[in-house]
Structure 1
Amino acid sequence: MNLICRAIRDLVRLPSACLLILQLLILFLAVVSNHDLAYRSMTWILGALVLLIIAKVIKMTPIFSAVGLFGVLGALIFSFLILIGYHQAYIQITAHVFEVIAYTTAAYGLVRYMFEDRYLTKDELFAAAAVFTLIAWSFVFLYSICQLYDPLSFSITPEQSVQHSWLDLLFLSFSIQSATGLSDIMPLSPLARLIAMIQMFSGVMYLALIVSRLIALQYIAHLPKHQDD
C-alpha cells in the first residue's frame, strides 16, 4: 500500500506523465467503447483533466499563458456544450479551435521547459513523449475542423470520400507525424493536404530537435564536474 501511495505521489509530481497517461486512457476508451452517453461523459471528464493539466503546464511559459488559458477555458465550455447535445457544426468547429490553441500552447510550454533545463530528468522523458501526443492531438482537431468545413476532405480511396471518426483521424495524425505512412486515409482537399504537409514538417523537426536535445542532456549529466561548470 505504501508503495502504491508513493507511486501516486511521484506521478502527481510529474505533470507530463499524468498528461501522457490520460491521453492514452482516452485513446483506449475510444477503442473499447460503444460511444454511448457514459462513454462520452467519461471521455469529457478525462479531457477536462487533460485541459486542467495543460493549464498547469502553460504556466511554464508566461508569454503564452493568457492565450493558453483562454484556449483551455473555451475548450472546456464548448466541449461541454457538445456533451449535452449541441452538435451544430459551428459549435464543434469552435470547440476544436480552442482545443488546438490549448494543446499547441501546452506543447510549446513543454518544449521550452525541456530546453531550459541543463540535466536530463525523469519528467523530461515523459515531457518528450507528451509533446509528441499533444502535437498529434492538435492536428486531429485541425483535421476534424477541415472535415466539418469540407466533408470531402478525406477518403479511403480517391474515388470514395467519407466522414471519418475521431479515432480514424487520430490514426492518420500519428501515421503522418511518425512518418510511417501506415494510414489508409488520404487527404484530398487542398486544405487537408496543407495541414498534412505542415504536420509532416513539424513531426520531422520535432524528432530531430528533441532527440538531439535529450542526447545532449544525457552527455552533460556524465561530464566531470569541472567540465560542467
Structure 2
Amino acid sequence: MHIRQRRLLALTRRHPSAILLLVQLLGLLLYPLLEATRAGPMALSVFGITVLIFTTGMVRRTPGLTWLSVCLALPAIALLLLQALRDDMNGLLPWSAALEALFYFYAAASLVAYMLSDTHATTDELFAAGATFTLLAWGFAYSFVVLQALQPGSFSAAVHAELPRSWTELMFLSFALLSSTGIGDVIPVRPLARALTSLEMFVGVMYLAGVVSRLIGLTLLRR
C-alpha cells in the first residue's frame, strides 16, 4: 500500500497539470448534478475553492508570480465562503466571479509561459495544454456571469429566454466558443455580450494555432 501511495505521489508531482485538468473536468460533470439541488450553492462554492487552491499550486511551478495568483485567489475564496454560509450574500456574486475570471486568465497565461519556456514538449506540458484550455473556458464563463449580473438579458436561449442563464449554460457556451465548434442554444443578444463572445472565439483560434500546434510540432520533432 505504501509503495502504491509513493508511486501515486510521485506521479502527481511529475504531472501536476494532469491533476489540475482532471479536477476541472470533474467539475464539468458535477456542476449540472449539484446546480439544482438544495445544497447545490454551498457544494459548488466548496468545489470552486478547491479548484482555486489546485490552480494556485500549479502556478507555483510556472514562470507566473505566485504572490499575484494568491492575491487574486484569497479574496475570491473569502467571497465564495460568504456566499456559501449566508443566503443574503448573492450580491457578492459579480465580485467573486470577476476575481475568479482574473485568476483563471492569469493562471492560463502562466501555463502558456510554462509551455513556451523551452523547446521540448514534455508529457506534463501536453497535459498543461488541456488544463490551459479549460482555464480559459472557465475564465470566460465567469466573465459571462459578471456581464449577466451587470446587464441582465445579455444572453438568451430557446428555453426560458427571459431567465438568467445558469452556470452550466454559460460554461457550455464558453466551451463551444473557445473550441470554435459552434454556439449552441445559448446566444449573446446584447452588443457587449457579442463583443465578449467574439473575443473568446479569437482567443480560442489563436491558442490552438499558436500554442497547441507548437507542442504538436515539438512532439513530432522529438520522435
Counterpart Cα distance in 2 of 1:160 and 1:52: 35
- Correspondence for 1:119: 120
* Runs of at least 5 residues in structure 2 that lack an aligned partner in the other structure: none
TM-score by length of 1: 0.86
8 Å contact 1:55–1:72 — kept in the other structure? yes
Residue-by-residue CA offset, 1:164-210 (whole Å, 9 max, x unaligned): 11001001111111111151011011111111011000000001112
- Unpaired segments of 5 or more residues in structure 1? 223-229
For the 8 Å contact 2:72–2:100, the answer to whether it is kept is yes
Larger mean CA deviation between 45-54 and 2-11 belongs to 2-11
Identify the residue that residue 169 of structure 1 maps to in structure 2: 170
Q: CA deviation at 1:213?
A: 1.2
Please state whether the residue corresponding to 1:155 is helix, strand or coil. Answer: strand
Quote the residue 2:53 is aligned against.
52
- Residues 24-57 of structure 1: CA deviation (Å, up to 9, x unaligned): 12221112234332x4444333322221222223
Asked whether the equivalents of residues 155 and 190 of structure 2 are also in contact (C-alpha less than 8 Å), the reply is yes
Q: Which moved more, 1:84-93 or 1:202-211?
A: 84-93
Residue 143 (1) aligns with residue 144 (2): yes
RMSD of aligned C-alpha atoms?
2.3
AA at the equivalent of 1:36: R
Q: Which secondary structure does the structure 2 equivalent of 1:6 belong to? A: helix
2: CA distance, partners of 1:40 / 1:25: 17
Q: Percent identity?
A: 35
Aligned length: 220
Q: Matched residues in 2 for 1:145 and 1:87: separation? A: 18
What are the residue-to-residue correspondences of 1:35-46 with 2, within 5 Å? Answer: 35-37=37-39, 39-46=40-47
Which residue of 2 is the match for residue 226 of structure 1? Answer: none
- Residues 108-134 of structure 1: per-residue CA shift (max 9 Å, x gap): 111100011322211111100000000
Match among 53, 61, 64 for residue 63 of structure 2: 61
TM-score (norm 2): 0.89
8 Å contact from structure 2 (residues 97, 142) kept in 1: yes
